Amino acid sequence: MSAAIAPAVSIVITTYNAATYIGACVRAALAQSCPDIEVLVLDDGSTDDTGEICRGFSDPRLRCLPRIHIGRCRALNEAVSAARGTYIAINDADDLSLPHRIEYCLGFLRAHTCAAYVGTSFLATEVFHDHIPDHVLASAACADAAETFWPSRAALFRRNLFNNSTLMYPKSTWERVGGYDEGLSNSEDYDFYLRAMQCGPAALLPGRTVLWYTNPHGFFKQKSRHEHLRTVSFIKRRAHRLLELPVWMKLYHPAWRIGLELTRRYPGLIDVVAGMRRRLRRLQTAPPPARPL
């Protein structure tokens, strides 16, 4: 691709010691049905064969940026800053983008210029594949009758609704919110989703566009539970202020943490609460008792 011609979409992959996965990830990214792309891999100081594998590709649409180890958030910011595309598609190094992903999301973003970003449904796997299996492609191709979901700010504040490897946004969204917060040690994706809603609504598309590997050794699995909860608490306090949410929603996260601790100590509470919800739904849907004549 000529440097003078900017692609419509930059697929951004940051990676650290991902030699097991990176070849399949890059091949899937390059196999998109939309030709107007670049694939940008920022190697965050890997000490394995990640860099060598990336350099083994000869596709001119692939750009590899070697760096010393700078950490995930800074790596994301450097990669997005270097990206030439009008739109950014995030792709974690152990996930595979299905061939229609970029075409599907790009069409939506061009038709809905108000959207700050979009995510999609996905297919999960506990076993990493070095290529996308035929049954996954067939499953993803099945028509989905669900409609596009536009979550409110409050709904996203309550819980993260997006898978990071399905995320796509105009680069201007990243510029307007100041990029990813390099002061965070985890959950920078959720923080970005919340802050980006200052730029406009977010959409969750029903189509499945990514084969998501539930990697037991992934980046976030290495973070302690205490560190994760502390970071999310900070993220939500800031989001509450930036998104101008109702005052009462300040209580939501502390109440959620209390509930989490109770269910950890008393696992049976989950079944009790689920049973109460089922009974409540039956009461709400039950016909009213007949009145005596």
pLDDT at 4 over 70: no
By three-state DSSP, how is residue 151 classified? coil
The label of the residue with tokens 């993260």 reads 160
The domain ranges of the chain are 9-222, 248-285
| Per-residue pLDDT tens digits for 101-160 | 999 999 999 999 999 999 999 999 999 999 999 989 988 877 566 899 999 999 999 999
Instruction: Give the other-Cβ count within 10 Å of 17's Cβ.
Output: 17
Is the pLDDT at 247 greater than 70? The verdict is yes
Please name every residue paired with 170 in a beta bridge, in sequence order, or none if there are none.
87
Least confident of 8-17, 149-158, 183-192, 222-231: 222-231
Query: Per-residue confidence at 254, pLDDT binned at 50, 70, 90?
Result: confident
Is residue 269 pLDDT above 80, yes or no?
no
pLDDT at 238 over 70: yes
Q: Which helix (H) or strand (E) holds 124?
A: strand 117-125
Mean pLDDT, rounded, of the chain: 89
Q: What pLDDT does 112 receive?
A: 98
The answer to which of 151-155, 222-226, 283-287 has the lowest mean pLDDT is: 283-287
Residue 212 pLDDT level (bands cut at 50, 70, 90): very high
Which two tokens mark 293? 């004549």
Structure confidence by residue, pLDDT tens digits, 71-111:
999 999 999 999 999 999 999 999 999 999 999 999 999 99
Asked if 86 and 9 count as a contact pair (C-beta separation under 8 A), the reply is yes
Tokens, residue 9: 């979409």
**Span 38-61, average pLDDT:** 96
pLDDT at 64 over 80: yes
Q: Which candidate, 94, 95, 120, 96, places its Cα nearest to that of 109?
A: 120
Predicted local distance difference test score (pLDDT) of residue 86 = 98
Q: How many CB atoms lie within 10 A of CB 55?
A: 13
What does the pLDDT average to over 9-30? 97
For 7, the 3-state DSSP assignment is coil
Report pLDDT for 234: 92
pLDDT at position 3 is 53
User: What's the pLDDT at 221?
Assistant: 52
The residue-averaged pLDDT of 44-51 equals 96
Average pLDDT over residues 248-267: 74
CATH for the stretch 9-222: 3.90.550.10
